[in-house]
Amino acid sequence: MILKYLIVSSLLICFISCGQKNRPQNEMKMPSQEESIQAGKAMAKQEDTEINAYIKRYNLVMERTGTGLRYKILNEGVGVNASTGMKATVKFKTSLLDGTVCYSSDSTGNETFVVDRDNVESGLHEGIKKLSKGGIAKFILPSHLAHGLTGDNNRIPARSPVVYDIELIDLKE
């Protein structure tokens, strides 16, 4: 009887202590949806301020789309504008707002992608549709149109706006 009592007591203590180990000592409170929205708005406002400072520092006059893409068309090119499904080949230089060059077709080769279909930054798809073959532009992609909250896990950090100096060198149906 005593042995049975000891076994049951031991098992009961084991179950109780295991259950307590799984409980966090200081439970973290998850932010509410409203708190998350406010934090996102604050980050977007800060990023917008940084982009505006870049534009002012280089005395640029740029247009802004509803998504936040900034662009300056230096040469519109000739023919039809790029559109969904067209194959675009671009010569480019990608940099951060501090001037750090991340990628360049001079070192990686020209980039070819299908507009609105291939896996390139959504801001690049949006901007390239403003150009025709031979068009040259400067795009500033806010982070949500570039590599977002994670960056590209290589040269572009998390939450970084990206500057594209771009030329649409070929466009095919």
Confidence class of residue 159 from pLDDT cuts 50, 70 and 90? very high
Instruction: Encode pLDDT of 81-105 as tens digits.
Output: 999 999 999 999 999 999 999 999 9
What pLDDT is attached to residue 14?
Answer: 52
For the chain, what percent of residues have pLDDT higher than 90? Answer: 71
Distance in angstroms (rounded) separating the CA atoms of residues 90 and 49: 29
CATH 3.10.50.40 assigned to domain 63-173? The reply is yes
Domain segments of the chain as ranges: 63-173
Q: Considering the entire predicted model, what is its pTM?
A: 0.80
Residue range 128-146: mean pLDDT, rounded? 97
What pLDDT is attached to residue 19?
Answer: 54
Distance of CA 169 to CAs 109, 110, 135, Å?
12, 9, 7
Bigger pLDDT: 35 or 59? 59
CB of 112 within 8 A of CB of 87?
yes
What pLDDT is attached to residue 6?
Answer: 42
- What's the one-letter identity of residue 20? Q
Please give the full DSSP string across 4-27, using - where no structure is assigned: HHHHHHHHHHHHHHHHHHTS-SSP
78: Cβ contacts below 8 Å, ≥ 6 apart: 132, 133, 134
Question: Could you give the dihedral angle defined by the CA atoms of residues 88, 152, 34 and 44, in that order, rounded to the nearest 10 degrees?
Answer: -70
